[in-house]
A and B are shown apart, each in its own frame.
Chain A
Amino acid sequence: MTNPALQITNLNFKYPHQENFALKNINLTIKRGEFVFLTGKSGCGKSTLARCLNGTLPQILGGEIDGKIQVLDKNTRENSVSDLAQNLGFIFQNPESQFFTVKVEDEVAFGPENLGWESNKISKNVDEALNAVDMLENRDMNVFNLSEGQKQRIAVAANLSLQPEILVMDEPTSNLDPPGAYKLFEILKRLKNQKKTIILIDHRTHHALPLADRVLIMDKGKIIKDDEPEILYDAHTRESYGIRNPRVLDENYQAPEYQIVKQNPVLDISRLSYSYDNGFSIQDINLQIYPGEVVGLVGSNGSGKTTLAKVLSGILKPQKGTLNWEREDSTFKVGMVFQNPDHQLFMDSVYNELNFGLEEVPGAQLNIGPVLKSMNLEKLQKRHPHSLSGGEKQRTLISAFLVREPHLLIMDEPTTGMDYYHMQRLVYEIKRLKKRNMGIMIISHDLEFLQQTTQRVIILSQGKIIQEGPTGDILSQDKLDTCFEGYQSLSIK
């Protein structure tokens, strides 16, 4: 009988300066060539477990570990992270933060170079790895000129060049649009057929389901379920453990009647255009957003969604066209919550964060108390914003804009890395925000979330609005291929 790929025995792990264990009594055996899908609520211990597998925890980030992890023939407590790299490749959420060079072939060669291999062997491995991810023709390209999907494929190749038998991927599709995610899963399917052992950690269950041999569900640091992939179709299990629906569009979804009164838009955009130096532009955008309306903005990466949002929010100045606000006289017109809230938090407490910069907005300080209360932040008002969870940071940021009473609130990919439970909480918050009679624009690839929050969806492609209409009409299975180029890929199952 062959040895398993991974064998975990009585594993417990505690982060530095924490009282509670992040992993509790984990026992797990993964066979060679198995595709294991690991999911569960945010903070349940998925990423902690992944980081224990390659020794990052506790070797680099510290912590107390108890128990044994055997990766093929190597024990993680007796081997360094570097020593384990040839057995186990590790791919992160953000590929750009793991790039050390600017050229594709150099990046893929980085690992073999660290092992001191001969240049001929490195070159052969680079070719094979790039071929495995369909990126051989991009060998001489600058990694920063690639699309997000291509960058993630290079991150996979950069691990494959070390020829590991096991690949651990921690939310690799978080920054990818649906076509990019589909292409990545096509490659994973091929790697699975080549008998690689793959451990995929993700909230999004749609693509993983057809490939997975086993599904592990974690909760509060424990593996609660170790089952067949079909368990993800069980609504009760999904709701109990905060897991997303593998069907991207809810088959029971009843589109609400579009009831927006099309009068006095908070924002009326006419023939808006903006061009970058590199030639990319958004062109001739005509759009109205009405009070109390939630509008979804979808399209592939690079279709111009974020550029449009930056023009609306005043970060970029439009080169052509007009933006007419309902109340031109007010000081503050638009708030925008970025995908990464870390860039937007400046102060040492939640209260001070809401108070930050308010001297320019007359009367806004009076709103702090009511907003803290309505956004359920009263108990957290003395906490340091950077010590909060992802959802709490997002709420703090939304509140920081709410005290300024904006006409329009824009949210850029608010559900990145978000489980079902936290997504539902955000859906609830947005439904409450709607009652404030401001406009809300949500930029997202997350169609399940858009289905539950928006009344209208706009599709952007190559800088132009190609379609718009009530959510029920646009987000239907037969029209999905118009949302994203290549969206027919959803038929993977």
Chain B
Amino acid sequence: MGEFDSDYSLIHRLDPRTKLILVVAITLMCTIINNIFLLLSIGAGLIILLTFSKTLKRVSALLGFFLIFAAAAISLTAIITRDINYALEYFSPFLARFFIIICAGLLFAFTTPPQRFAQSLQQMRIPTSITFTLGITLRYIPTLAREAESIFQSLKLRGVHLSKWDYIRRPSMIYRGIIIPLIIRSIKLSDEIAIAAESRAFKSNKSRSSLKKLTIGKNDVLFLGIMIITMGLVFYLDNNPVFPF
């Protein structure tokens, strides 16, 4: 959970609303942009932000998995059609957009503490029942991951070594060995959470106050400014191509 420490990097310190604007704006923009080199440039920009926020290492496995999927899709199409140019032209924009959306989502998820995200939504006057549920869901993802790890270790101890292929080959083992114990633990945890929340005066129908109010600071304004200028430039280049392609 160390990655959620708010002073971990400048990106971590940004207001969650700033990062949310980035995710929404980039998602919308990449559906409009068609130039593959501009799309790749946006992707590269997000990789720089991930590096800057010290989260690239943590997300590299997920990005690697996506890149393998992308390479497989292009290779398979090239083999079937016997035309590599067609495969690249057909898949590249789609995969580049997908890559951008994944990077933006991961940047947000890995640099925003659940509590601050919930608080930012609360300040946007979203009802407590929604913001609290969302905050709790994000907060308990690492807990459930630890529960799943313990279950995997328990299976190993009983001599059951599951490989990735077993998800297809032995679905009943996955269901019995992982999903059922995880559901049982989740139900127990959800009871504990409900008791703990109400024992500390939580009421879903009552608005909450905050120890520290989130404010859009200088860094947020600077970040949003750079973002707007960059996006404007990208739109300009998309409509007035200066490159020969």
Contacts and interface: CB of A to CB of B under 8 A. Distances in A.
A85 B203 CA distance: 11
A4 to B, nearest CB: 21
B151 to A, nearest CB: 5
Contacts of B154: 338, 343-344, 346
A60 B1 CA distance: 30
Contact of B159 (A98, A105, A332): A332
A114 B208 CA distance: 5
Contacts of B113: 101-103
A99 B200 CA distance: 11
A476 B16 CA distance: 56
A345 interface: yes
A478 interface: no
Given A56-B195, A97-B193, A106-B115, A142 B200 contact: no
A332 B181 CA distance: 23
A60 B142 CA distance: 25
Chain B contact surface mostly: helix
Contacts of B240: none
B85 interface: no
Nearest to B139: A100
Size range of the chain B interface in the assembly: 35 or more
Interface in A31-82: 51, 54, 56, 59-61, 80-82
Contacts of A342: 181, 184-185, 188
Contacts of A347: 176
A116 B199 contact: no
A239 interface: no
B163 interface: no
A314 interface: yes
A85 B200 contact: yes
Contacts of B6: 103
A118 B212 CA distance: 10
Kindly name the residue among A61, A81, A114, A340 whose own CB sees the greatest number of chain B CB atoms within 10 A: A114
Nearest to A115: B201
Nearest to A162: B201
B168 interface: no
A336 B197 contact: no
Interface stretch (A289-297, A354-362, A369-377): A354-362
A344 B147 CA distance: 11
B229 interface: no
Given A100-B135, A103-B113, A142-B5, A118 B143 contact: no
B192 A97 contact: yes
A179 B195 CA distance: 28
B2 interface: yes
A144 interface: yes
Nearest to A315: B153
A346 B180 contact: yes
A98 B210 contact: no
Nearest to A313: B157
A162 B154 CA distance: 40
Interface string A371-407: 0000000000000001000000000000011001000
Interface of A: 51, 54, 56, 59-61, 80-83, 85-86, 89-90, 92, 94, 96-103, 105-106, 109-119, 122-123, 126, 142, 144-145, 158-159, 162, 310, 313-315, 331-332, 334-336, 338, 340, 342-347, 356-357, 360-361, 386, 400-401, 404
Given A102-B1, A114-B202, A115-B201, 11 more contacts: A60-B198, A80-B198, A81-B198, A94-B192, A98-B196, A100-B193, A111-B201, A113-B208, A114-B208, A126-B211, A145-B1
29 contacts: A56-B195, A56-B198, A81-B195, A82-B201, A89-B199, A94-B192, A98-B192, A98-B199, A100-B139, A102-B1, A102-B113, A103-B6, A103-B115, A109-B211, A112-B211, A114-B202, A116-B209, A119-B210, A119-B213, A123-B211, A159-B199, A159-B200, A310-B153, A343-B150, A344-B154, A356-B160, A360-B159, A360-B160, A401-B157
Interface of B: 1-2, 4-6, 113-115, 135-136, 139, 142-143, 147, 150-151, 153-160, 176-177, 180-181, 184-185, 188-189, 191-203, 206-213
